[in-house]
Structure 1
Amino acid sequence: MAESSPRRKLAVILATDVVGYSTKMEENEDQTLNNLMVCRSIIDGLVEEYHGRIFNTAGDSVLVEFQSAVEAVICGSEFQNTIKERNNSVPEEEQMEFRIGINMGDVVIEGDNLYGEGVNVAARLEALAQPGGVCLAKNVHEIVNKKTDFQFHDLGEQTVKNTVVHAVDVTLDGTSQRKLQESTTGQQSSTEKPPAIAVLPFTNM
């Protein structure tokens, strides 16, 4: 009897982890774990509010599945804004910064977990994101650009861990409009999208 093919689906994946987590653990393990628990409670609440599902956690990283690109981007941006507010109210040694990457792509279903290129690209975008920032795949940006009031900064095609992705920053307080060298042309990307118009009722894909 032939083995059945793995089940697949299209999903929006949010990947996040802590900036400098290993160093923080080396400096003060107990304090770092306590601070991580506080921040995890924040993202847990926002994921529930925006109808996401956490499907994997390992150390400081969190992987979340959404059905809606709009809700994923709003969730990630609200999390970063909430973390910034927390950092402004606690001592420096208790502060944490996160990077977030969001991709939409094909994933493999294995029990409650998800695997595949859709997840891998989200992790690549997370690695590319600024501390305190949210970095999107181009296909996510194309969906949310006219459905939210966020502004965006196009980074062009970037190579991260041997994978080329077209990346777009969400413009948030505390992040810069950076110019990165594009992997395909060797030129810096200065493409900037015009301000979007807010149409906020959520629309699932």
Structure 2
Amino acid sequence: MGEIRNFKSGNQDEPPPHGVMPRRLAAIIVGDIASYSRLMQVDEEGTHVRVKRIERDLIQPSIVEHHGSLVKTTGDGFIAIFDSPVEAVRCSIVIQQNLVGRNASLPKDTRIEYRIGVNLGDVIVEPDDVYGDGVNIASRIEGIAEPGQVYISGAIYEQIKHKVVCGYESLGDRKVKNITDPVRVYRVLPDADAVGKTRGRRENVLLVLLSITVMMIAAGVLWYLLAQPGRVGQQAAAPAVSPVASPSPEPSPREAAVQTPQPSPSLASSPPPAPVSSPSATPLREPELIAIRGGSFAMGSNDDPTERPVHQVTVKPFSIGKYPVTVQEWNECAAAKECGFAAIGNDDAPVTNVSWTDAQQYVAYLAKATKRAYRLPSEAEWEYAARGGTSTKYWWGDKLQPGMAGCKDCGAAASEQPVKVGSFKPNPFGLHDMGGGVDQWVEDCWHKTYQGAPTDGSAWSGGDCSSHVLRSGSWKNDSRYVRPSNRDGYDTNVRYPTHGFRVALSP
């Protein structure tokens, strides 16, 4: 976390050499409010206050959290730059999804909705602004975007298509103002289900058009036959034949979503999901649990402001998954149509690309199928279990040891995906991957510190629950994230490639 700042480059007291301008390759976000003039005309002061509040509470923090820099605000919009195209698109999705929540209770004609365009380009950077074709293209893409949507250029798409968990709808090459070459444009579909729904709508339209065409042809043939002399009596004597075969039933949105690879980094290049068996053919595999005796411990640390203050917590007895939920376990839920997508990957690998809402779908499915009160662990339960009765920096001691956890600098070979569950030693409670492997959702809403946190081990549900807590760190993080006290928050409904979870159960 850090303060929002306008982008600065180099020593501002020393101008660049004559003829040399500071340049950099950057992912550029341009956002603009749809129908801003109309909103200002209806309620000038109220609209101004609302826009400034959105900038302060949503747009600026989202840019910082995704490691970007705010270049400037423009009254009815903003420009930001990022080193990472992935983070730029993630930030754009988060902004739009949070605006949906803010607008839900408002009349449609009073909602503040942004159009967002994202492009990758070589730009000229000045202390308080940024220039170049890269910015112009981002601005033009934003201009053709629909309110509430994120549109990206082909340059961004090529960088993120295997990295950001969402769908993409190609809008083809677009000729944009003052840009010589056409620009390939894609619409981002952050909800994986939207991919199937979009495809389902297209298939439905095609079916309707096909049916109309067949009916017109059949009507023409029938008219021709009836119009021929001497044919009327023959037609009357002939057996009646339906001129049009009934089209096959249109797929429902859920069926259309199942037909589409889910979740899909790219509609064009993703492999199909791993096959899943029907619930009738495959018995339910309950996650293996470890019973944890209750007790008291010092929760938190002084290593990071979000982990303070250190406070004493008493946890009641509970059980928790020995491993994170696996691809195979998740896909049983998907096969039962209780979880929103079929996961890809090895059956014994932890499931990833899971939002907090997705994780809740799985525990609800498990509870329904087993008649047991499955849930996500509370943040306090997770840390208590991860420490395994220890009070050191890591559960094995105060120094990092190779081969104890799956992280970027934990001594394991670098990988593009998490290894199978249980690949590393268990902690003293017999739990695997309680640090590294995959980030793990817990029940609690995100709070920036522990000030006011419950001390009885229960989940902290008060406050703003648009974000929830993640624990463990992942194979893509460094060893700082493997500490049992490490904590982070992420948007409740957004999927991300390193996010998974494990289940818990009260006695």
The answer to whether TM tops 0.5 is yes
Aligned position for 2:414:
none
Distance 1:90 1:111 in 2: 38
Out of 188, 197, 200, which is 2:497 matched to? Answer: 200
Distance 1:69 1:124 in 2: 18
How large is the Cα RMSD of the aligned pairs? 2.5
Aligned position for 1:166:
184
Deviation at 1:48, TM superposition (A): 0.8
Pair 1:14 & 2:29 matched: yes
SS at match of 2:151: strand
Q: Deviations over 1:41-63 (max 9, x none)?
A: 21111001001111121111100
Distance 1:56 1:135 in 2: 20
Equivalent pairs, count: 188
Structure 1: gaps spanning 5 or more residues: 180-191
When residues 130 and 195 of structure 1 are mapped into structure 2, their CA distance, relative to the original with a 3 A threshold, is: farther
Indicate if the aligned counterparts of 1:13 and 1:119 stay in contact, CA closer than 8 A: yes
Which is further off, 34-43 or 17-26?
34-43
Deviation at 1:19, TM superposition (A): 0.2
Deviation at 1:9, TM superposition (A): 1.1
Distance 2:54 2:268 in 1: 33
When residues 194 and 4 of structure 1 are mapped into structure 2, their CA distance, relative to the original with a 3 A threshold, is: closer
Deviation at 1:37, TM superposition (A): 1.5
Q: Deviations over 1:126-145 (max 9, x none)?
A: 11111100000101011111
SS at match of 2:187: strand
Which is further off, 86-95 or 73-82?
86-95
Taking the TM superposition and a 5 Å limit, the aligned residue runs for 1:146-157 are: 146-157=162-173
Out of 29, 32, 42, which is 1:27 matched to? Answer: 42
Aligned position for 2:102:
86
Deviation at 1:97, TM superposition (A): 0.7
Pair 1:104 & 2:93 matched: no
When residues 193 and 125 of structure 1 are mapped into structure 2, their CA distance, relative to the original with a 3 A threshold, is: same
Deviation at 1:78, TM superposition (A): 0.8
Aligned position for 2:134:
118
SS at match of 2:163: coil
Distance 2:190 2:147 in 1: 11
Higher strand share: 1
SS at match of 2:164: coil
Q: Which structure carries more relative contact order (alpha carbon 8 Å, separation 6+)?
A: 1
Distance 1:156 1:93 in 2: 31
Deviation at 1:172, TM superposition (A): 4.1
State the TM-score, normalized to the length of structure 1.
0.83
Which is further off, 51-60 or 64-73?
51-60
Larger radius of gyration: 2
Indicate if the aligned counterparts of 1:31 and 1:94 stay in contact, CA closer than 8 A: no
Distance 1:86 1:111 in 2: 33
Structure 2: gaps spanning 5 or more residues: 1-16, 203-265, 271-343, 345-352, 354-495, 499-507
Distance 2:59 2:49 in 1: 15
Distance 1:147 1:82 in 2: 21
Aligned position for 2:148:
132
Distance 2:127 2:53 in 1: 28
Deviation at 1:92, TM superposition (A): 4.3
State the TM-score, normalized to the length of structure 2.
0.35
SS at match of 1:160: coil
Out of 20, 28, 32, which is 1:5 matched to? Answer: 20
**Identical-residue share of aligned pairs (%):** 34
Distance 1:57 1:166 in 2: 27
